[in-house]
Structure 1
Amino acid sequence: MYQSSPPLSPRETLPTMYDLPSEDPEEPGLPDEFHLLQPELLRQTFLPPSYEAADFFTASDLNLYYDVHHPQWYKRPDWFGVLGVSRLYDQRDLRLSYVIWQEGIAPLVVVELLSPGTEKEDLGRSLRDASQPPNKWTVYEQILRIPYYFVFDRYTDELQAFGLVQGIYQPLVLEEPGIWLAKAQLGLGLWRGTYQGINRLWLRWYDKHHHWILTPAEREAQRAEQEAQRAEQEAQRAAREAQRAEQEKSRADRLAAKLRELGLDPDEA
């Protein structure tokens, strides 16, 4: 088992996020469109109800530095979420990377999106030389001890979920609609729907009532629909009031006509 690092050294003696790059210029390739859209949907719907927006952090394709004794070693999760940490670095700056020995809080959950070239790395099946960094599985399980690890294969629509049990990742049984994360008071499941014009299975967060968390665009559309419904209801109410007023006028006209037939002046009655 890979041993975790000893207690952290003073912050001032170690590289800051500005010293540790957010990208490796020698690494080829850029994220494909799915790797852009899916993490964004996760970010928009990860809204833990017990935390203010300023008190949790999510990121995708951001360098995660995990070993103080190998400060250039990092993993770059497709998406991860951390609770109880400021959204901003030192509460003032957008992060260039996530440096675990400075932040002091490991992610609660990591999501990796499988591709043919990353499957062995993501599922801990790759071998390494002792001088090389450990694979993602080892880092997430044995070094950072991240409680929840999800791996999604968009080619087969298979979602694998793992939970940390006595220091070892164990498969979690996927139930409808997904896996509940008690600390976040959110669940992660597979949702079939249209996001950014693409209809397919997407990973998405849901609440305790099994309702999918809405994106900002969906919330705005919902508000617009509610406003339209209220306007329609008000128009219908006004129409009913106008109809009642017309009926009252009609009754008054009939009564006046009847009085005139009897030789009475309705204005003096």
Structure 2
Amino acid sequence: MEQTSPPLSPRYTLPTMYDLPSEDPEEPGLPDEFHLLQPELLRQTFCPPTYEADEIFAASDLNLYYDLRHPQWYKRPDWFAVLGVPRLYDDQDLRLSYVMWQEGIAPFVVLELLSPGPEKEDLGRSLRDASQPPNKWTVYEQILRVPYYFVFNRYTDELQAFGLVHERYQPLSVTGPGFWLAAAELGLGLWWGRYQGVERLWLRWYDRDSQWILTSAEREAQRADLEQQRADLAEMEIIRLQRLLEQAGLNPDP
């Protein structure tokens, strides 16, 4: 009697998330879960000490319109931050996009998370027709003149850093745990840790003492730990005093 093998699980026979685009198959590299978590960690830890919170605008996956001659042309950085602009549009509303000819201040730093599809676009290696919009590298370097540009590949954990020197991007050198941005008094580095339940290498900001800047949740946990330590010390001190009184033959009130 001929034996037949058991059917394979659909997990092994059907396409996986690596084979299927998240949305439009003609637009590769659309946000996945990492593209949601990593920018949020960057936003929470981007705290330049010389700027108030309402003088900083940081965004992810937001349309950035950059050319008044072509008002429909835009780029959508995975994460970017602008210094010296109001947190809110006209000090009263959340932005729907970032429009350069209205804001007047270009991003201070832009970060792209590499995906297999738009990798050439992010690194300036794509070719285009003269009638088509320029690639991201060209827009950030030559049109917006963004001082700092970072590109991170989460599959290889490779972080590439570029600074604007004589109107061209040049690779930055590692200083301390990462790359120091003097104008913001912050550095960007690779941190191994657990964020939102996921342990891996993450990008996050650090201060001039090479200390990782804490998220709001981490600050709250740290505050709770300190309060617990104070309570434990106070309880230990009470116990110590009670023992001293007992040794002296005194009976303290309960």
TM-score (norm 1): 0.82
Which residue pairs with 2:153 in the alignment?
153
Given the superposition, is the C-alpha separation of residues 29 and 109 from structure 1 closer, same or farther in structure 2, using an over 3 Å criterion? closer
What RMSD over aligned residues (CA atoms) do the two structures have, in Å? 1.6
Distance 2:250 2:145 in 1: 79
Which residue pairs with 1:131 in the alignment?
131
User: What does 1:34-53 correspond to in 2, within 5 Å?
Assistant: 34-53=34-53
Rg larger for:
1
SS in 1 for 2:137: helix
Pairs aligned (count): 227
Deviation, structure 1 residue 139: 0.2
SS in 1 for 2:183: coil
Given the superposition, is the C-alpha separation of residues 136 and 30 from structure 1 closer, same or farther in structure 2, using an over 3 Å criterion? closer
Which residue pairs with 2:205 in the alignment?
205
Instruction: Give the fraction of aligned pairs with identical amino acids, expressed as a percent.
Output: 75
Distance 2:47 2:175 in 1: 21
Deviation, structure 1 residue 248: 2.1
User: What does 1:19-38 correspond to in 2, within 5 Å?
Assistant: 30-38=30-38
Distance 1:187 1:250 in 2: 59
**Paired AA for residue 77 in structure 1:** P
Distance 2:230 2:199 in 1: 30
Distance 2:159 2:246 in 1: 63
2:66/2:74 contact within 8 Å kept = yes
Which residue pairs with 1:176 in the alignment?
176
Distance 1:103 1:249 in 2: 76
Structure 1 spans left out of the alignment, 5+ residues: 1-23, 252-269
User: What does 1:113-132 correspond to in 2, within 5 Å?
Assistant: 113-132=113-132
Which residue pairs with 1:105 in the alignment?
105
Distance 1:29 1:139 in 2: 19
Which residue pairs with 2:224 in the alignment?
224
Which residue pairs with 1:238 in the alignment?
238
Distance 1:249 1:154 in 2: 67
**Paired AA for residue 173 in structure 1:** S
Deviation, structure 1 residue 27: 5.7
Which residue pairs with 1:258 in the alignment?
none
Distance 1:68 1:248 in 2: 85
Deviation, structure 1 residue 129: 0.4
User: What does 1:70-89 correspond to in 2, within 5 Å?
Assistant: 70-89=70-89
Distance 1:210 1:176 in 2: 7
Distance 1:29 1:173 in 2: 28
Distance 2:101 2:60 in 1: 19
Deviation, structure 1 residue 51: 0.8
Structure 2 spans left out of the alignment, 5+ residues: 1-23
Distance 2:184 2:216 in 1: 20
Distance 1:177 1:58 in 2: 23
SS in 2 for 1:77: coil
**Paired AA for residue 186 in structure 1:** L
Distance 1:37 1:138 in 2: 27
2:28/2:117 contact within 8 Å kept = no
**Paired AA for residue 89 in structure 2:** Y
Distance 1:72 1:238 in 2: 70
